[in-house]
Amino acid sequence: FYPCDFCGQVDDGGSQLGPLETFLQWCDRVGLVLSNKVYVSKEGTVSEYGMLAKDNIEEGEVLFTIPRSALLHQGTTKVSALLEKEKSSLESPSGWVPLLLALLYEYTSSQSHWKPYLSLWTDFKTLDHPMFWSKEERGRLLRGTGIPEAVDRDLANIRKEYTDVVLPFITQHPDLWNPSTHTLELYTQLVAFVMAYSFQEPQEEEEEEDDDEEEDEDEKAPNPPMMVPMADMLNHVSNHNANLEFTPDSLKMVCVRPIHKDEEVFNTYGQMANWQLLHMYGFTEPYPSNSNDTADIPHTNLYKVATQGIQSDLDRQLVEEQWKMLCQMMQEKGAFVFGKQGCLTDMELHTALKVLCMSKEEFSEFKENEGWEEDDEEDEISLAFSSEGLPELKASWKKLIHEAARLTLRSYGNGEEEGVTDSDRALIENKVALAGLSTRQQNALQVQYGQKRILYRLMELTKS
């Protein structure tokens, strides 16, 4: 799963230690304590590296402890004082520039404190995020999944951030960085490295004194990402058995359910659909193990089906007005998200269907009242848009959902929306045929198949 494909040799003064052994010696030196019940291995793990149990491990046991001084981030790097002093000029929408500058410096410095850690990646060729695929390959393999569009936005943002913020800064500090070494290409690779391997410390929950403070708290920026040696060697599954805990002095990987001898230790990156895992981490969970898989129906697809077959100009004008109002209430370029148990954006979908199915009189009243008194409880709405509730919706609502799902299925380019998953299922269930595909083809198939199954099931649940 998680692409821990570390490779290459460490230049360690002529000794024959490989990169992993050199890294483990460094862990000892920096006070990273590894339980004697686990070990890092390339054998018997789902990706190139992983962690395995030497012995049975009970829930609550600590697998390893990392002192905060061993973490790599903008506050621990050798250039931390400069990054702190200049932080106002390093602001960007991502919030990642200080960490990325630290990584640019430490990754290319022969004297870096983190060299044994960073030398596990002699290059970043093993990162296989879709951002490193050709545009043609992304479009061909990932059509309809939303990933090609997300990657195009990422690459444009990375280029803009490098050109507008990073390049001017490194040019001003030629003693520490060099534009011919610290290129846009290396910067992009490090962005992918941070996407796949960094951790973000959760915000501390503080007791609020009053409402004003509560508003300030809501606006508090998330903690910047940081690199956590050893923790990033664990692979991910949604049904994980270990979890990273943050304490004032250290970070601890703690067993959250019993692990048997020889089993792999798995962390989780949260509830991630396969399209998110591939986009951000470069891998997928094979069907059907990802219980968090989702499929999106773009808002615009609901609009398209709502305007289909309208005969009169008056009716069209009404739907146009209704949609204009909905656009002010919903995110632009947003989507309704469906999981295996129903709609995950149920309040938004409920609002959209309610407005689009109003008569002219109802809509006029709705506008005059600037909305409606919400008579439906959130729990009732969640139930109505769950797999159990969807077949019981009003016929007009079901028709809109059904046709929007059909239209979305067409975007994958198969042109066979009703039996859309049959050929995919045959391929996924045929281990020999699946093994004949490239890793990229396999990952693309897992994403598309998972999404199409959710949409196909949605059509079944909303059949009139």
pLDDT at residue 3 is higher than 90? no
Provide the domain limits for residue 121.
79-201+223-227
DSSP conformation class of 70: G
Q: Is residue 213 part of a domain?
A: no
Q: What pLDDT, in 10s, does the model give residues 158-196?
A: 999 999 999 999 999 999 999 999 999 999 999 999 999
pLDDT for 4 equals 37
CA distances in angstroms from 434 to 273, 326, 439, 453, listed in the order given: 21, 43, 10, 18
pLDDT at residue 10 is higher than 50? no
Number of domains, the chain: 3
| Burial of residue 284, with CB atoms counted within 10 A of its CB: 0-12 exposed, 13-18 middle, 19 or more buried | buried
Q: Give the CATH number of the domain where residue 185 resides.
A: 3.90.1410.10
pLDDT for 378 equals 82
Q: What pLDDT, in 10s, does the model give residues 216-255?
A: 445 677 889 999 999 998 988 888 999 999 999 999 999 9
Q: Mean pLDDT throughout 143-164?
A: 96
> 338 and 446, same structural domain?
yes
Pick from 343, 420, 430: which is nearest to 387 by CA? Answer: 343
Q: Above pLDDT 70, what percent of the chain?
A: 90
> 241 and 183, same structural domain?
no
> 350 and 430, same structural domain?
yes
User: Which three-class secondary structure state does DSSP give residue 276?
Assistant: helix
> 370 and 450, same structural domain?
yes
pLDDT for 206 equals 56
Between residues 412 and 330, the one the model is more confident about = 412
> 176 and 84, same structural domain?
yes
Last residue of a domain, one of 227, 245, 279: 227
pLDDT at residue 83 is higher than 90? yes
Range from 21-35, 87-101, 415-429 carrying the lowest mean pLDDT: 415-429
> 168 and 37, same structural domain?
no
pLDDT for 125 equals 75
> 445 and 378, same structural domain?
yes
Which residues are CB-contacts of 56 (< 8 A; sequence separation ≥ 6)? Answer: 258, 259, 260, 261
pLDDT at residue 9 is higher than 80? no
pLDDT at residue 33 is higher than 50? yes
Range from 186-190, 305-309, 332-336, 363-367 carrying the lowest mean pLDDT: 332-336
pLDDT for 41 equals 87
User: Is residue 165 within 8 Å of residue 95, measured between CB atoms?
Assistant: no
Sorting pLDDT into bands at 50, 70 and 90, what band is 48?
Answer: confident
Between residues 207 and 342, the one the model is more confident about = 342
pLDDT for 387 equals 95
Q: Is residue 9 part of a domain?
A: no
> 417 and 311, same structural domain?
yes
Q: Mean pLDDT throughout 39-43?
A: 87
> 253 and 396, same structural domain?
no
pLDDT for 287 equals 86
Q: Give the CATH number of the domain where residue 304 resides.
A: 3.90.1420.10
pLDDT at residue 6 is higher than 90? no
pLDDT at residue 14 is higher than 60? no
Q: Is residue 283 part of a domain?
A: no
> 436 and 367, same structural domain?
yes
CA dihedral sign of residues 373, 378, 380, 383: positive
Q: Is residue 381 part of a domain?
A: yes
* Distance from C-alpha of 179 to C-alpha of 168, rounded to nearest angstrom: 10
Q: What pLDDT, in 10s, does the model give residues 389-442?
A: 999 999 999 999 999 999 999 999 765 554 456 788 888 888 898 899 999 999
pTM for the model stands at 0.86
User: Is residue 280 within 8 Å of residue 195, measured between CB atoms?
Assistant: yes
Q: Mean pLDDT throughout 269-288?
A: 91
Mean pLDDT of the chain: 88
> 185 and 89, same structural domain?
yes
What's the token pair of residue 431? 């281990």
Q: Is residue 3 part of a domain?
A: no
* Distance from C-alpha of 26 to C-alpha of 38, rounded to nearest angstrom: 17
Q: Is residue 105 part of a domain?
A: yes
Q: Is residue 288 part of a domain?
A: no
Q: Is residue 273 part of a domain?
A: no
Pick from 149, 415, 434: which is nearest to 287 by CA? Answer: 434
User: Which three-class secondary structure state does DSSP give residue 236?
Assistant: strand
CA dihedral sign of residues 378, 383, 386, 390: negative
* Distance from C-alpha of 402 to C-alpha of 456, rounded to nearest angstrom: 9
Backbone angles phi, psi at 143, to 5 degrees: -55, 135
Q: Mean pLDDT throughout 378-394?
A: 93
pLDDT for 8 equals 34
User: Is residue 41 within 8 Å of residue 6, measured between CB atoms?
Assistant: no
Pick from 15, 64, 407: which is nearest to 253 by CA? Answer: 64
> 438 and 303, same structural domain?
yes
Q: What pLDDT, in 10s, does the model give residues 353-368?
A: 999 999 999 999 888 8
Q: Give the CATH number of the domain where residue 237 resides.
A: 2.170.270.10
